[in-house]
Amino acid sequence: MIHLKKILCPVDFSECSCHALRYAIDLALKEHALLYLIHVIETHINDMGDIMKHIDLLLDNKQIDNLRTHLLHLVPDDVRPNIRTEPIVEKGIPFVEIVKAAKDRQVDLIVMGTHGRTGLEHILIGSVAERVIQKAPCPVLSIRLPKHVFSMP
Ligand code: AMP
């Protein structure tokens, strides 16, 4: 029998990822699973191939703590006491950090949006979602916004 003990929900604070979070919360409640919420602060690779360091300077520990709190507050007040939730904030390339978090924590399922902040309607699935589906060590449930209709090119 499949038992979901740990669920990972990547959140970029877009409408679609917050919609996916509702599914993740519901599944976590039904399965009594630990729910990890991850947000990745995107870093960029410059022409020299070095990870730009300025992000580190801009984001101090206080801001990272604020992001963790923000993640936790996405879970509705009335549900929060009934669910074990752990916020994760990482810096890096979103799909890499999401897959790494799933591996390190041996999660049973990833629940994420099909689209993110760009919300491009002509694409079937966003690049972060596509890469996570390809590389994840576990099943991935990708959730589309009901209003988001894919129009054939
Ligand atoms: P995208 O592939 O960028 O259109 O986003 C698809 C989904 O990937 C979003 O709905 C989120 O679930 C997840 N995602 C995208 N970017 C991030 C990020 N920086 N941190 C956490 N999750 C993300």
* CB of 19 sitting under 6 A from ligand 1: no
Nearest ligand 1 atom, CA 112? 12
Separation of CA 95 and ligand 1 centre (Å): 8
Separation of CA 33 and ligand 1 centre (Å): 22
Separation of CA 129 and ligand 1 centre (Å): 6
Q: Are 25 and 75 in contact (CB under 8 A)?
A: yes
Instruction: Render pLDDT for 100-146 as a digit per residue (tens, 0 to 9).
Output: 999 999 999 999 999 988 766 667 778 999 999 999 999 999 999 88
User: Domain spans of the chain?
Assistant: 6-142
Q: What pTM was computed for the model?
A: 0.90
Q: What is the DSSP letter of 45?
A: B
Instruction: Render pLDDT for 54-109 as a digit per residue (tens, 0 to 9).
Output: 555 556 788 899 999 999 999 999 999 999 999 999 989 999 999 999 999 999 99
Instruction: Render pLDDT for 19-66 as a digit per residue (tens, 0 to 9).
Output: 999 999 999 999 999 999 999 998 766 544 555 555 555 567 888 999
Helix (H, G, I), strand (E, B) or coil at 51: strand
Q: Architecture of domain 6-142 in CATH?
A: 3-Layer(aba) Sandwich (3.40)
pLDDT band with cut points at 50, 70 and 90 for residue 153: low
Distance CA 38, CA 99 (A): 11
Q: Whose CA is nearest to atom 16 of ligand 1?
A: 12
Greatest Cα pair distance in the chain:
49
Q: Which two tokens stand for residue 49?
A: 């191939």
| 87 Cβ contact partners less than 8 Å away, ≥ 6 residues apart | 36, 37, 38, 39, 67, 68, 69, 71, 72
| 46 Cβ contact partners less than 8 Å away, ≥ 6 residues apart | 52
